A and B are shown apart, each in its own frame.
Chain A
Amino acid sequence: MIEINGVTKRYKDKTAVDDLSFEIKPGQVTGFLGPNGSGKSTTMRMIMGLDAPDSGSIRINGRGYRDIALPLSEVGALLEAKAIHPGRSAFNHLWFLARSNDIPRARVNEVLQLVGLEDVAKKRAGKFSLGMGQRLGIAAALLGDPSVLLFDEPINGLDPEGILWVRNLLKGLASGGRTVFVSSHLMSEMALTADHLVVIGRGRLISTGSVDDFVAKSSGQFVRARAPRSKDLHDLLVRHGGQVRQEPNGALAVTRLSASEVGELSGRAGIFLHELSPQAASLEEAFMEVTRDSVEYHGSVGPGPFVSASSASTSYPESRN
């Protein structure tokens, strides 16, 4: 269990995290989503006691990080892959960490086996690929068999087999009752891995809830209905509280009414439906939707003329006349 209460962190002139509060519960994978520069890593470093918040408090299993007697047995973290001395072997990196927390040497070999690095344990970490670095970081996180685990972008640099492995690992850890907190900017990955989501943008909390709620709440979810008497259907649904938008191909996009409600209403009114389908927004779309206003670094869309009308809220000065 991690509790974050009103945490704010400023770096010189920039507010990285702004009055952030949320809880991370045990027994589930909590995904931590946000665009680049939204404060995910800063938040994780503060949970680990590495950076100090300017205000607010963070408690892990009811205590501040610095008050934990045997940190590796309570909290494990992968914060940066390859935050390892390049001249030190994987074994020695894990062995000094284990030694500091009185963890037996045998456990080092055990976690090396768990992450599949036993064959390169004596090799210098500087020769490791990014994926191997991630595996070593995960091994370090698992070293003390902690009840709370943090992973900052754990699948970066992993091959498909490694991604699947991490996904199953995270789920397995959570199902064993552990608190698992994973940051990612890959929504699709979180859709497959996370049970619960915390979404931040520009250091502020945007949304928190289950993955299903997150998708449902976003306006991307709607019911598509198509009928020959499109106008009649439109009026009928609006009368019953639906919000209806005409799609370019003639179908109606209905929100605020479920598919079954649309079906029953049209049936009673004697309007034949040619199509009735619930449309779920992907997590990706839902994420884009909620973070649209808080993206720190927009990619520029090239010069003027080809920007689509909907997104061209900023007007481009006409300088060519």
Chain B
Amino acid sequence: MTIATPVSPLQTGQRYRISTVMGAEWIKMRSVRSTIWTVTAMTVITLGGAIVAGLTIPGQWHTFSANERATFDPTNTSLKGLLIGQLVIGVLGVMVMSAEYGTGTIRATLAAVPNRPLIVATKAAVFAMIAAVVGQVLSFGAFLLTQGLLSNPAPHASLSQPGVLRAVVGSGLLVPVLGVFALGLATIIRHTAGAITAFVGTLLVLPISLEALPASISHPILNCLPPEISQNMGSVVPTTGSGWTLSPWAGFGVLCLYAVVTLGIGAWLMVRRDA
């Protein structure tokens, strides 16, 4: 049988490497439609929100109170849509990992590369790179759209104003961090629906349910949850909240911890569990 023997002698490397495994993860990521669909959905939501804000606020300006006008933050306003966009990058982060389990591809993946922490790390790295590009494009895009549309009497912001560049770049940076956090949750939970529930629960449900507690307890916790951290990062005009808040970059550090810890637990579990 000619079938049995390879047509040409195979010239392969000696060992799988970080670069070859990252290459494989990149092929996986770009070869399914969910990637392009989620990025498209995120773009529509984020830029759509920015356009709506830029178009409607000037017309409503006369209805704003004096306090609302004084604390109006055009930078933060432009980045509001990105907060919903964060939920979408979470869905993509979850699916990047959970689809492997849902479809059984994980067995092919681990047969080719039995080093499981390497799989988790390269998957997270490739996804984070894509999410970082998406985050920066969308945060700058949203900022520029809104500022370009804001007209008198509403004021608009520019990147040269203090704190504005930090808010725009920082909000974009939250996208890969939250995405990797979601990917870590999916590595632990291994099911799409369960992992998305956990992610959305942390971003939306947990902060609301904490409101039921006395402020002395809920306030410090809320400060360390993603919504407050995102809010701080995207704001230039300080919010008039009571008590302490994390600085934007301290909050960013906390969020990185979320991502690193969930990913670490996920990798540890993957080594211990049967695939």
Residues of chain A having any CB pair with chain B under 8 Å: 45, 48-52, 65-66, 68-73, 75, 77, 79-80, 82-89, 92-93, 95-97, 99-104, 106-107, 110, 114, 140, 142, 144-145, 165, 168-169, 171-173, 175-176
Contacts and interface: CB of A to CB of B under 8 A. Distances in A.
B12 interface: yes
Nearest to A86: B103
A48 B108 CA distance: 10
Contacts of A51: 274-275
Interface in B1-57: 1, 3-8, 10-17, 20-21, 23-25, 27-28, 31-34
A8 B21 CA distance: 32
10 tightest A-B CB contacts, nearest first: A172-B4, A83-B104, A102-B13, A172-B1, A100-B24, A92-B31, A96-B27, A51-B274, A69-B15, A50-B275
Nearest to B105: A85
Interface stretch (B59-67, B69-77, B111-119, B180-188): B111-119
A101 B111 CA distance: 11
Nearest to A173: B4
Given A100-B23, A101-B113, 8 more contacts: A52-B274, A66-B114, A87-B34, A92-B28, A99-B24, A100-B109, A101-B112, A169-B3
Contacts of B14: 69-70
Interface in B102-138: 103-105, 107-115
Contacts of A84: 103-105, 108
B86 to A, nearest CB: 24
Contacts of A172: 1, 3-5
B16 A69 contact: yes
A97 B24 contact: yes
A87 B33 contact: yes
A96 B28 contact: yes
Nearest to B9: A145
B3 A101 contact: no
B254 interface: no
Contacts of A145: 6, 10
Contact of B105 (A50, A66, A83, A106): A83
Given A99-B24, A114-B3, A83 B112 contact: no
Nearest to B272: A52
A104 B12 contact: yes
B149 interface: no
20 contacts: A48-B111, A51-B275, A69-B16, A73-B10, A73-B12, A83-B105, A83-B108, A84-B108, A85-B28, A88-B31, A93-B108, A95-B31, A96-B25, A96-B27, A101-B12, A101-B112, A102-B16, A104-B10, A169-B3, A172-B1
